């Protein structure tokens, strides 16, 4: 198992244990102080046309499988792009999402953080997997952090950040 996958399993294991405890008879799980899980697990991954989206999809798929939940993939199209290879890479990433069993959605508009949070709330999402590039603090202050904005806008939803290796 690759190191990154092992780390994801290590992080997800406590959540998985809570879910499994909830599968026990109610008296048994309550006796151990474990509250019932509030509903189905739904993992949302934000997908773009960039290469890190493949990594995000794989990590989100691993998390959804480890937790026994559903996988949802969301692409937000803020505007039509004429970047070279945009549509080819996006199609490739969306096909990967479907192969991983994700329910794929495309939304349009902005602001991105608000759209992600609204989609997550409307679909009962319990976990969001996003990418974040390693930027200087100055650049983050100047441009902002989508992950931080989503965290603020989507109260009660766990956010997982996958670092961009570049």
List strand residue ranges (DSSP E) for 53-134, in order.
Answer: 70-77, 103-108, 127-132
Tokens of 57: 């999809």
Question: d(Cα 143, Cα 80) in Å, to the nearest integer?
Answer: 21
What pLDDT shows up at residue 58? 95
In angstroms, the CA 86 to CA 81 distance is: 7
pTM above 0.95, yes or no: no
Q: Enumerate domains of the chain plus CATH numbers.
A: 1-37 (no CATH), 39-163 (3.40.50.620)
Q: Mind listing the pLDDT tens digit of every residue in the chain (166 residues)?
A: 555 555 655 666 666 655 555 454 444 444 555 554 567 999 999 998 888 899 999 999 999 999 999 999 999 887 766 777 788 898 999 999 999 999 999 998 878 899 999 999 999 999 999 987 665 566 666 667 888 888 888 888 999 988 877 6
Q: To which residue do tokens 């989507």 refer?
A: 154
Q: Looking at residue 27, what is its pLDDT?
A: 41
How far is Cα 99 from Cα 96, in angstroms, rounded to an integer?
5
| Bridge partners for 46 per DSSP | 74
């Amino acid at each position: 198992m690759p190191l990154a996958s092992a780390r994801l399993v290590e992080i997800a294991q406590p959540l998985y244990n809570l879910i499994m405890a909830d599968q026990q008879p109610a008296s048994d799980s309550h006796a151990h102080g474990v509250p019932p899980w509030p509903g189905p697990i739904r993992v949302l991954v934000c997908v773009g046309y960039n290469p890190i989206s493949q990594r995000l999809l794989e990590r989100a798929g691993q998390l959804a499988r480890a937790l026994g939940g559903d996988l949802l993939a969301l692409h937000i199209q803020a505007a039509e792009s004429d970047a070279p290879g945009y549509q080819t890479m996006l199609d490739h990433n969306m096909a990967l999402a479907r192969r991983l069993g994700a329910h794929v959605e495309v939304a349009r508009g902005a602001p991105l953080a608000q759209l992600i949070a609204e989609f997550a709330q409307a679909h009962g999402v319990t976990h969001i997997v996003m990418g974040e590039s390693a930027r200087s603090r100055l650049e983050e202050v100047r441009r902002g952090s989508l992950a931080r904005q989503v965290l603020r806008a989507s109260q009660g939803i766990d956010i997982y950040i996958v670092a961009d290796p570049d």
